[in-house]
Each structure stands twice: as C-alpha cells, then as structure tokens.
Amino acid sequence: MLQSELKLRRDKIRALMAQQGIDAALIACNVNLIYTYGSVVSGYLYLPLHEPARLFVKRPNNLAGEFVMPIRKPEQLPDLLKECGLPLPARLMLEGDELPFREYNRLAACFPDAEVLPDGTELIRRARSVKTEFELELLRRSGAAHARAYARIPSVYQLGMTDRQFSIEIERLMRLEGCLGIFRVFGRSMEIFMGSVLAGDNAAAPSPYDFALGGEGLDPSLPGGANGTLLQAGQSVMVDLGGNFFGYMCDMSRVYSLGRLPQQAYDAHQVCLEAQEAVAAMAKPGVACEDLYNKAIEVVTKAGFADRFMGVGQKAKFVGHGIGLEINEAPVLAPRIRQELEPGMVFALEPKIVLPEVGPVGIENSWAVKADGVEKLTQAPEEIVEL
C-alpha cells in the first residue's frame, strides 16, 4: 500500500487525538493495524502525535524498514521508544473496547507514569468511518466483483437443493471472484461466516446476532443463516453474502424465487425498492441517520407492511449500517442516531420484508456518500429472479 495513503489515515487519527490532548496511541488490534499499517502483524504500531509511527513487530520476522523494530514482549516498549529518541507519552490511548482485559492492563502497566485512556477504539472507528479516495476505489472494485458473482447465481441452482447446498455453491462463486472468505465484525457477540442464504419461513427465525434477518442456522453454536431447508416451489430465497474483496466489505442482498410467488411478494419487494430509492434520494452530507431510518419506515408503513418489515417476531432496529474493514461500522441508520452523514462515509441500506409461508423479499446495496448525494457501489439487477 502507498505510504502516502497510510500517512493520510494516521493523520486522520492524529487530528482526533489532538482534539483530546492525547500524546500517542498504541495500536494492537488486527483491523486497526490494517488501517494504519496496511497489514495484519503480531505486534504494536506506536503512533505519536508529532513523530513518524513506529512498528514493533513479533511476527512475521521478515519485516524491515526505517521505522520497524523487532520486539519480544510489550514490556520492552519504553526502552525501545527511548532508543528511537521518542519521549514517553504523558497521555496514551489504547483500544479499550477491543483489547482483552488482561492485555489492556499489561500494556497500560508498561507506562506507569502515563495517563492511559481507553478511547482508542471509538476514536479510530470514527476516523475509519470516513473513507479515503483509495478506500472508496477498493470498495468500488469489491462491489463490481460482488455483482459478477451474483450474476452467476442462477447457473448453480439445481432442483432438489437445500438452502445449505445452494449457499455452498454461491460461496464458491464468491471465492472464484477473489472473495477472501473472512468477514470481520466489531463486537464480542457478533459472528458471521460469509453471510446468509435464507429461504421460506427460516428468514423469520430469531437470531442472537444483530442482523437484519436471522435464520436458525445449522447448529446452536452458530445460530444464524441457512438451516437445511429444502428449496420448494412458492418460496423466496434471499442471498446476503458479504463481499470481502481487498479487505473491505461490500454488502449486497438479492432475492430469487422457486417458480412464481404470490403477488403479495412482488408487491412487498417493490415497496422495499421504493424505500431504498426514497432513502437514497434523501441521503447526502448533513442528513441525520435517524431521519433516513424514519423515511424508510414511512414508505413501508404507508404501503401496509410495517408489521413484516425487518423481521417478524424479532425485528432489527435499523435499516442500514456502515461498512468498511468491518461489516458493522458507523454510521448506523437507526432511531435516535443523530449522527450526520459526511462525504466519504459508506453504508449498506437493506429494507427487507418477511412474508409467512413465502420468505424474505427486499434489497440491500452499498452506498458511498458524495458531496451532493450518494453513489451505489453494488450494481446488479434488483428484481426477483426466478430460478
């Protein structure tokens, strides 16, 4: 990755640090290392406010450079910083919402004279929520690869498949397009394996995860997504696989049908498309996330589908979420979220409706916020496709 790009990202973090009087950040978590260094390493990136960043690395052992130093344990950090001619920080920021308790305390103990602040997770996520032009281009490329894989979905369907078998074939299409296969999520209680394929009434099954739609899953150890449902005539199937290409997550859902569906399904799907268009037309810098959520609710309620919107017995309390290096970033389009959109933010918008004895309908696309509106990153046909 270009060093100028990495410096731009680190300077975004530094600007937020300066506002809070923070002297330095010590970064140890994978996603934040990707953001600030360009790769996962076992080690620490030390980010001073006014000096070049230093990488202290345990593994791999083949990294070299002017600002790269080997390290065995974090207790070496103060002496290594002194060797670099850097003063020890008076106020040090750690990733308080991500580091395990024991590791956080160990790192904090390395700097006994510093005021250690746990605000690193929130601050770095804020910096990451506004993408650089380089990141936006990676997301555009991800969206294109995602769409190419989805275009081939009808070709892998076979009569008599279960949702699990169908999902496996679609996952293969994604991998052939370059999908990395790992889907990073924020939060200790969030897990995901490539995404979900939801058919029929399984789409209404509640899940412990904060997804738009749940699914029973194949085992209680991963209760979400496909559950082995036999794909049958009259069912809808929603494919919602995340597109992790180049380390950045695009999100896209499309709906397929086994034969002709009841007319209500096509009507509900059209309502979701109208909700998407209404929100996209309204979305621009300065608009609050809550107002976008309310616009979607307004469209769906007027059409008479509010009781089936974003789930049935257990409903998702959002209609969109930020995406990037993780699948659940800021901003979140939800009630009481007054955060305003900014140019460079990227979010997935996913109005969805679940119909009894039919299944899920709706749409999900990824959108980048521009100076005067939004850009759709996932370009693929949006009608229900009959298999």
The reply to whether 123 and 222 lie within a common domain is no
- Mark which of 128, 162, 189 sits at the end of a domain: 128
The reply to whether 139 and 260 lie within a common domain is yes
- Mark which of 74, 98, 128 sits at the end of a domain: 128
The reply to whether 81 and 148 lie within a common domain is no
Tell me the torsion sign for CA atoms 23, 27, 33, 35.
negative
The reply to whether 295 and 375 lie within a common domain is yes
- Entry pTM: 0.94
CATH number of the domain enclosing 12: 3.40.350.10
Q: How many residues does the chain have?
A: 387
The reply to whether 182 and 319 lie within a common domain is yes
Residue numbers of the domain that contains 22: 3-128
Reference 57, options 73, 69, 49; nearest CA is 69
Split into its structural domains, the chain has a count of 2
Q: Which pair of tokens denotes residue 19?
A: 């506002």
The reply to whether 290 and 312 lie within a common domain is yes
**What is the DSSP-derived secondary structure letter of residue 383?**
S
Parts of the chain with a pLDDT under 70: 1
Between strands 359-362 and 352-355, the pairing is: antiparallel
| One-letter amino acid for residue 158 of the chain | Q
Q: Which pair of tokens denotes residue 51?
A: 């000096």
The reply to whether 139 and 79 lie within a common domain is no
Question: How much of the chain, in percent, has pLDDT values that exceed 90?
Answer: 93
The reply to whether 168 and 49 lie within a common domain is no
The reply to whether 102 and 225 lie within a common domain is no
Reference 376, options 250, 232, 228, 288; nearest CA is 250
- Mark which of 89, 106, 128 sits at the end of a domain: 128
pLDDT tens digits along 15-66: 999 999 999 999 999 999 999 999 999 999 999 999 999 999 999 999 988 8
For residues 241 and 380, the answer to whether their CB atoms sit within 8 Å is: no
CATH number of the domain enclosing 326: 3.90.230.10
Does a cis peptide bond (omega within 30 degrees of 0) precede residue 331?
A: yes
